[in-house]
Amino acid sequence: MEVTKINGVIAIMGMLVVATCLAFLVIYLDILGIAALFALPIGVAFFYWVMQRPSNALDLTLICAFVAIGAIRYMSSIPLGLSVDFALILAIVSAIFHTKIKTDFKKIKNSLMLVCIIWMAYNIAEIINPEARSMAAWFYAVRGTALYMILTVPLTLLYAHKVKDLDRFIRFIMVFSVLASLWGLRQYYIGLDGAENNWLDQGPRSTHVLFGNLRVFSFFSDAGQFGAGIAQAGLMAAILALGPYPIRTKLIYAFLSLLFFYMMIISGTRGSLIVPVGGAMAFLFASKNFKIMLGGLVVLGIVFSFLKFSSIGQDNYQIRRMRSALDPNDASLNVRKENQKKFKSYLQNRPFGGGIGTSGSWGQRFSPGTFLAETPNDSWYVKIWAEMGVVGLSLHLSILLFIALMALLKIWKVKDRGLKQKLLALYAGYIGIILASYGNPILGQMPTGIVIYMSWAYFFLAPDLDKELSEKKLLS
């Protein structure tokens, strides 16, 4: 009885302390304090949900990857650029303390994890590169080149390895691509808001408003990233529309594919054209369906001929800009070739490059005035070459090719037609992105990087996913 009374007194005192703290919060923060009263329980509930399962934190990672960069335009004082890092840390913490599911560490004993570890080790070794200018630059830049990969891949293999997780992953891509499309349509047909205009005024206007035409960027980092990302979603939707699914599902995917490809066009990103073209060719080869392959090649041939050998629609700016991607005398292409010649000369005696974070935006921030910082790389692979040298580029390309070949072998062994179609959609998207990354620094950017790394995991999970579906069929 005495113990009950003591516990009751402690509970009352605890509530009084909390009430007092909340009262001071409202008094000193005024409106913000009142807002905090409403936000606090929502935040606690959300944190509790995230910590329930590591897969929930991976969902949060995807959300942050899609929207965080765009949100910075509206809340520049909040370090939203680190939100993906924060979400991945939550996933790790949840993985350490979760008790609802048993972790099967055998799922990370594969060649995918091996090549990821090798790539991460090379990135760490770049710290001692004598050409490197800043440890801070390495810390910021390595997140995109290796850290997100080495965290996302094992978390997906260990905690999002069911068919339902794959389905949810694809839904995330489609839903956020729809939201990005709606945001982009508003930009194009209604106009930009104050935050977006302010962002353009800080420098990007020269590359995003050409001859009075807006290159739509939605809530992505820029038009190039949006164009490639939405093209990847469009390619995936088109392939899923061809899958063994109900008519209603196929029609929805077909509509989404048309919407996403239209958004790709109004992004004005010429390099994104290789995503559906290269990805479609990869799908046709991987599907091993000769009828579909023949029909697909005919369609690709018609599209190529339309852009290359005709002047139809030349009055339309978007078509005219896409057509210029096939022009070998394009001024922009020639500038890139000249820059690559400069890189070749600079890196001739630097087999390990100039150090991670020495080129692009990080180079301009941490080592301004240097050759690598001031010479645009305009390509993911040129960026890797500039920062990690021919050794790093060779290793990187070898890993990308290895994953592509291993994924193909694993997908070919899948027996369930519906699962195979989903994996083929991810595979085509992956091939499209690695091809498009030659023209733009796409692969390590958000959200594309996280989408690709999770796709890798599902390629290597293909046998387990197929086994799961076959066991369900036997039980039903």
- The structure's pTM equals 0.88
Q: What is the pLDDT of residue 473?
A: 84
pLDDT, one tens digit for every residue, the chain (476 residues):
455 555 555 555 555 555 555 555 455 555 554 555 555 666 667 677 777 788 888 999 999 999 998 999 998 877 888 889 988 998 998 888 876 677 888 999 999 999 999 999 999 999 999 988 888 899 999 999 999 999 999 999 999 999 999 999 999 999 999 999 999 999 999 999 999 999 999 988 988 988 888 999 999 999 999 999 999 999 999 999 999 999 999 999 999 999 999 999 999 888 888 999 999 999 989 988 767 767 767 777 777 676 666 767 666 666 666 666 665 666 666 777 888 889 899 999 999 999 999 998 888 888 888 999 888 888 899 999 999 999 999 999 999 999 999 999 999 999 999 999 999 999 999 999 999 998 888 998 999 999 999 999 999 999 999 999 998 888 86
Non-local CB neighbours of 116 within 8 Å, separated by 6+ positions: 149, 150, 153, 154
Q: Which two tokens stand for residue 310?
A: 């005709």
Task: Tally the residues of the chain.
Answer: 476
Q: Which of 115, 102, 64 is nearest to 86 (CA)?
A: 64
Q: What is the pLDDT of residue 330?
A: 63
Q: What is the pLDDT of residue 340?
A: 87
Q: Please give the span between the terminal C-alpha atoms of the chain, in angstroms, as a whole number.
A: 55
Non-local CB neighbours of 411 within 8 Å, separated by 6+ positions: 286, 420, 423, 424, 427, 459, 462
One DSSP character per residue, 163-184 reads: HHHHHHHHHHHHHHHHHHHHHH
Q: What is the pLDDT of residue 437?
A: 93
Q: What is the pLDDT of residue 19?
A: 54
How far, in Å, CA of 98 to CA of 96, rounded?
A: 6
How far, in Å, CA of 452 to CA of 362, rounded?
A: 23
- Residue with structure tokens 């630059």? 137
- For residue 366, what are the CA distances in angstroms to 78, 141, 294, 444? 21, 11, 51, 19
Instruction: Spell out the SS3 assignment of 5-16.
Output: HHHHHHHHHHHH
Q: What is the pLDDT of residue 1?
A: 47
How far, in Å, CA of 351 to CA of 310, rounded?
A: 44
| Strand stretches in 127-255, DSSP E | 209-210, 213-214
